[in-house]
Structure 1
Amino acid sequence: MSESPRRRPRQRRSRETVATLLEAAAQMFDREGWSTTTNRIAERAGLSIGTLYQYFPDKNALLHALAERHVREAGVRLGAVFSELRSTTPDFDETMRAILAAVVDLHRDRPGLHALMHRAAPRLPVELAALRAFEDHLAQEISFHLVRLGRGGGDPDYLARTLVHAVDAQVHRVLTRDRPDVDRLMMLVHRLTAEPAG
């Protein structure tokens, strides 16, 4: 199975076709999981299977492209939140709620797709490196705020990494059936930072 698109869209019409295919794939993966087929995805997109295969060799490549797009979108959305938090410097609960609200919003729709991307999307070494860099950036930003707010303990970097991965596991594995919820995630954050939920 391939992990990459067959060709990169360069013209506007090609980009629109790829966007249509990815939206259809997102819907079908969310509804049917890995059992969906490229034929079902092409049908949902209103395009021929031949058109799908011009851009994606198989459903593996589609899922891979969706995961890559999700990480890019998360980086942009969370980047804006972190920039705002550095300029406004709110208290601990407001800081963490702002971060968690952005995470929840990124995963609010299509929990089945997010669970599948988390578990099944293959990643090439270059994508694994990009994902690790993204997670490191999140942890660095959270560590900054832990220290700023006196919540870092003896090792704020370790605590920040723990928070990043604990929230990630909750969002992608525990809460995928119930949809992520900021209040539940805040309880987790309070437990991990040894502060009572308020």
Structure 2
Amino acid sequence: MRADARRNRARVLEAAGEAFAAEGPGVPLDEIARRAGVGAGTVYRHFPTKEALLHAVLTDRLVVLHAKAQDALAAPDPGPAFFAYFETMVLAADDKMDLAAALARQGIDVMTATREVAVPLKAAMGELLLRAQKAGAVRDDIAVDVLHALVVAAVSAARSVSPAEVPRVVGLVADGLRPRVAG
């Protein structure tokens, strides 16, 4: 792909991600082209259908989450790195869940469609969890599947409160991951 085509694709993905986050997956492709500053033909060349664009935005978000997980794995203190990443996962999962739901409504098996990115992401999450558990920062009875369920639960809880309360909700769920204090 030529450099200008790569830049245009990136601009479309960024505009689509922002539009979907703000207004949901129903934003028309022509509107995304306008926001990206490209012609509609450019959008359709890269993403021939709305589903292709939704899939690309979702995959891009998973790639970003994986990169952030790698950064967290490189951090010297596994406990704070884990909890900072947990907050990142919860805040990112809100939009990701909407995109996944939109794809599922189109009959797309999201798990299969994102497996190439989701498998290494889940492995990185598991490694972050294990490191934090070995450091004594996270309860040892939490498995990666339970962690994923707690992220989903935190997203659901965060959706039911005002934006100002979201950090508190995330903190309360994160506190449940910390080891129990004796007494």
**C-alpha offsets along residues 12-41 of structure 1, whole Å, 9 cap, x if unaligned?**
100111112112212322233232211222
Indicate how the Cα distance of structure 1 residues 19 and 162 shifts in structure 2: closer, same or farther if over 3 A, else same. Answer: same
Q: How much does 1:81 deviate?
A: 1.4
Cα gap change, 1:186/1:36 in structure 2, threshold over 3 Å: closer, same or farther? same
Count residues with an aligned counterpart: 174
What is the letter of the counterpart of residue 165 of structure 1? Answer: A
Structure 2 spans left out of the alignment, 5+ residues: none
CA deviation profile, 1:44-83 (whole Å, cap 9, x unmatched): 2232222211111111111111111111111111211122
Shift of 1:139: 2.1
Which residue matches 1:50? Answer: 41
| 1:83 alignment counterpart | 74
Provide the C-alpha distance between the structure 2 equivalents of 1:16 and 1:41, rounded to a whole number of angstroms. Answer: 15
> What is the alpha-carbon distance in structure 1 between the residues aligned to residue 137 and residue 62 of structure 2?
30
Matched, 1:138 2:138: no
Task: Please state how far the C-alpha of 1:142 moved relative to its aligned partner.
Answer: 0.5
Aligned residue type for 2:169: R
Structure 1 runs (4+) deviating above 6 angstroms are none
Kindly indicate whether residue 144 of structure 2 is the aligned counterpart of residue 167 of structure 1. Answer: no
Question: Which residue of structure 2 aligns with residue 99 of structure 1?
Answer: 85
Alignment partner of 1:70 is 2:56: no
Identity %: 20
Shift of 1:169: 3.9
TM-score by length of 2: 0.75
Matched position secondary structure for 2:67: helix
Aligned counterparts, 1:16-31, within 5 A: 16-31=7-22
TM-score between both structures, scaled by the size of structure 1? 0.70
Aligned to 2:101: 119
Pairing partner for 1:186 from 151, 160, 171: 171
Structure 1 residue ranges without an equivalent (≥5): 1-9
Distance 1:39 1:14 in 2: 18
| In 1: Cα distance, 2:65 partner to 2:175 partner | 23
Is the contact made by 2:62 and 2:118 (CA closer than 8 Å) also made in structure 1? yes
CA RMSD of aligned residues (A): 3.0
Q: Write out per-residue CA displacement over residues 118-161 of structure 1, whole angstroms, 9 at most, x where no aligned residue.
A: 422443736225313312330232123213317544x45x3x43
CA offset at residue 192 of structure 1?
Answer: 4.9
Alpha carbons 1:42, 1:48 under 8 Å: kept: yes
